[in-house]
Amino acid sequence: MLVGLQEVLVKARAEKQAIAAFNVPNLEMIRAAIQAAEEVNTPVILQHAEGHGSLISLEEIGPIMLQYAKRSKVPVVVHLDHGKSFEMIMQAMKLGFTSVMIDASDLPFEENIARTKEIVKIAHSLGVSVEAELGHVFTSSLGGGEGRTPDDDQIGETDIYTDPKQAKDFVDATTVDCLAVAFGTVHGVYLKEPKLDLDRVKKIYDEVKIPLVMHGGSGVEASDYRTAIENGIAKINYYTYANQAGAAALRDYLKADNQDYFLEDCIEVATKGLREDYMEALKIFNGK
């Protein structure tokens, strides 16, 4: 069933769990995400990033995401990830998305507040939840479209991390429902081992007391996920490493070169690899 973000995040936080938010820019990813969530019997978030518009448009994929969410046996949130433009955020709400992200994290603090407030006012009047970002989660050079890509040696710089006191001012001023925070994760493939400032997550949570969101959430150690969840993370954005797991399953399947291959079988194999990776992540995020 299609549900709002608030109801799943508040419950997850109370139970020290996090809800996985899978980016699903094609039908196979939508199906794998729903099947994995039903198998593990847990809520899930299907999300489309504005930056994935080159893969598929919101008009094309959005209605399919909503259709699968409505038919699912588990609660499913349909969310716009990294909404940058006012038009795209309005479009997601018009389609029936139950949650949107306004990502103005590249703008100065006051402008981030002003842009976020504008979206919150409209979204809340329609019963739609809002995620915003404070600090900035970088994107590695092997990643796609969700944040700024600096030189690889700049990744790990801490001046883009979220400041706990500033986070409180931001949340008080904007009344967002959840906040994406920067503490060392990176969108895309980790080119060096992430060093996560997990204490910062707790400090931010103690100030803002609303569910926090981990971006760059795939490719992290299981124990780090658990600590991050204990400390305040209730939504984990997860894309790159599941994407790679699907491709790895396909690569293994195609190794035997004495066989006739069919595209439909290739898609099945890749989707199974993806689904298994999703299920593993869902279990870790649930603490099971």
Binding-site residue ranges: 82, 103, 133, 187-188, 215-218, 237-240
- Number of residues lying near ligand 13P (CB under 6 A): 17
HEC profile of 25-45: CCHHHHHHHHHHHHHHCCCEE
Does residue 163 carry a catalytic annotation?
A: no
What are the tokens at 120? 């919150």
The nearest distance, CB 125 to ligand 13P, in angstroms, is 26
CA distances from 168 to 96, 147, 175, 204, 210 (A): 30, 23, 10, 8, 10
Residues 232-271 contacting ligand 13P, CB under 6 A: 237-240
- H or E stretch including 102? strand 99-102
Tell me which stretch binds ligand 13P (CB under 6 A): 121-129, 163-171, 196-204, 213-221. 213-221
Nearer to ligand 13P, 187 or 200 (CB): 187
Between 152 and 169, whose beta carbon lies closer to ligand 13P?
152
- 215 interacts with ligand 13P by CB under 6 A: yes
Q: CB-based contacts of 172: which residues, under 8 Å, 6+ apart?
A: none
Query: Under the criterion CB under 6 A, does residue 75 sit at the interface with ligand 13P?
Result: no
Query: Is the Cα dihedral 103, 106, 110, 111 positive or negative?
Result: negative
Alpha-carbon gap, residue 169 to 124, rounded angstroms? 19
Of all helices (H) and strands (E), which one includes residue 132?
A: strand 129-134
| Piece of 60-68, 117-125, 209-217, 268-276 that binds ligand 13P (CB under 6 A) | 209-217
- Rounded Cα distance, 91 and 74, in Å: 25
The yes or no reply on residue 216 touching ligand 13P (CB under 6 A) is yes
Binding residues for Zn(2+): 82, 103, 133, 187, 215
Our finding on whether 135 is near ligand 13P (CB under 6 A) is no
Contact flags string 166-195 toward ligand 13P, x per CB under 6 A:
---------------------xx-------
Q: Residue 108 phi/psi, 5° resolution?
A: -60, 155
Residues with a catalytic annotation lie at 81
- Chain residues that interact with ligand 13P, rule: CB under 6 A: 23, 49, 81-82, 143, 146, 187-188, 215-219, 237-240
